[in-house]
Amino acid sequence: MKRFPGVTFSAVVLLLGSLLQLLLALGTGAAAAFEKYRAGSAAQQGAGALLLIPSWIPVFLYVLCGFFGALALWGILTSAGLFRLHRWARHSVLVIGGCLAVMGLPSLLISAVMLFVPLPLPAAVDPAHAQTAHLAARIGFGAIAIIYGLMAVVGVSWLIYFNLKKVRALFAGIPAQLPGQIPGQLPATAAAERPLLISVIAVLSIFGAAVCLLLTLLPIPAATFGLILYGWQKTAVLLVYTVLLAVAGLGLWRLEEWARRLTIAIQVLGLAQYIVFLARPSLMTSYADEINRALRIPQPLQQPAQFQSIMYIWSFGLGILLLVAVIGILHYYRAAFRIPLRQTQSPGLP
């Protein structure tokens, strides 16, 4: 079957991005090994405490190395599936595109806002060079905005392209036109599938569970509804969130109605937390101070109150918009959860 140029180009882009992700994983692993060796060498030589790093840093870097490596493997396998026109590869690249769009668009907006926010200068910067420092900061945020913009463009373009009827037909193994079939139209069995946005939310939910599990390993406190949690309380709350997000994500993937309701409840809980922090910004400031203390940062940079207020409003505002969007998507596609997915797919297909 003839392969479309857009499919081949997307497979090549995904493969190159996955190889870069693999290099990032190897670099993170090398940094973890170096820091572990450096800490051990400094301890043997009786170096001062300033030369030593927290013992959890190498472990955290090794975990990041595994995470980046898993993402790279996912991308490489998906790229190979696109070259072979496997149906599961289309679903996979749509999920990857959705994740890129979800991460890229908000980050692009935040980076763009930072271009116009009066940034505070570190105490070590000479006031005479303030204009140069501000220009350098804006150039840095501009470069970050471009990177996130490219990420968002790639993600959105994959969402659009791989949802075209002709591309869906190509991966379903359907000819361009069958007797009695409208050109480009898919049979009912091929068109009935999990909605794309539901797949993206399911993957992001499972990803969120992995992040919560990772946070249980880090020596930093957790915050919920303004309460700062330590020790077993922090671990218990994060494990509850881990289980809820993982179960909800798996249920959404299977189009279970209870998972849709559970996910909506989780989003409502998140909205309530955002409202609490918006109403009392001092709670977020206290939490940041506790994180600095846990990470042994003796003199964190004090940000102006106006700058902190702008950052809190924009970050929490974007968070609220994302949560509301998820609730809206789950409500819009509520009819899809009334038909079990296993009745709409052929045996052996993902």
User: pLDDT class for 291, splitting at 50, 70, 90?
Assistant: confident
**Mean pLDDT, range 68-83, rounded to an integer:** 92
Tell me the three state secondary structure of residue 220: coil
pLDDT, residue 308, reads 63
The closest alpha carbon to 341, from 253, 245, 250, belongs to 253
pLDDT, residue 350, reads 43
pTM: 0.67
Residue 189 scores a pLDDT above 50: no
Per-residue burial over 156-172, b = 16 or more CB atoms within 10 Å of its CB, e = otherwise: bbbbebbeeeebbbbbb
Mean pLDDT of the chain: 78
Residue 254 scores a pLDDT above 70: yes
**Mean pLDDT, range 285-290, rounded to an integer:** 74
pLDDT, residue 107, reads 81
Residue 19 scores a pLDDT above 80: yes
User: pLDDT class for 224, splitting at 50, 70, 90?
Assistant: confident
pLDDT, residue 49, reads 46
pLDDT, residue 266, reads 94
Distance CA(249)–CA(246), nearest Å, equals 5
Could you report the per-residue pLDDT of 322-344, keeping only the tens digit for each? Answer: 899 999 999 999 888 865 544 44
Q: What is the DSSP letter of 164?
A: S
Residue 264 scores a pLDDT above 90: yes
Relative orientation angle of helices 87-114 and 305-332, to the nearest 10 degrees:
150
Residue 8 scores a pLDDT above 80: yes
Residue 119 scores a pLDDT above 60: yes
Distance CA(110)–CA(97), nearest Å, equals 20
Could you report the per-residue pLDDT of 47-72, keeping only the tens digit for each? Answer: 544 445 666 677 778 888 888 899 99
pLDDT, residue 124, reads 57
Copy the structure tokens of residue 318: 């974007």
**Mean pLDDT, range 188-203, rounded to an integer:** 70
Residue 297 scores a pLDDT above 70: no
Distance CA(159)–CA(100), nearest Å, equals 10
Residue 45 scores a pLDDT above 70: no
Residue 296 scores a pLDDT above 50: yes
pLDDT, residue 339, reads 56
Residue 186 scores a pLDDT above 50: no
Percent of the chain with pLDDT over 70: 74
Report the Cα–Cα distance between both ends of the chain, in Å, rounded.
Answer: 21
Residue 262 scores a pLDDT above 90: yes
Cβ-contact 333, 263 below 8 angstroms: no
Residue 203 scores a pLDDT above 60: yes
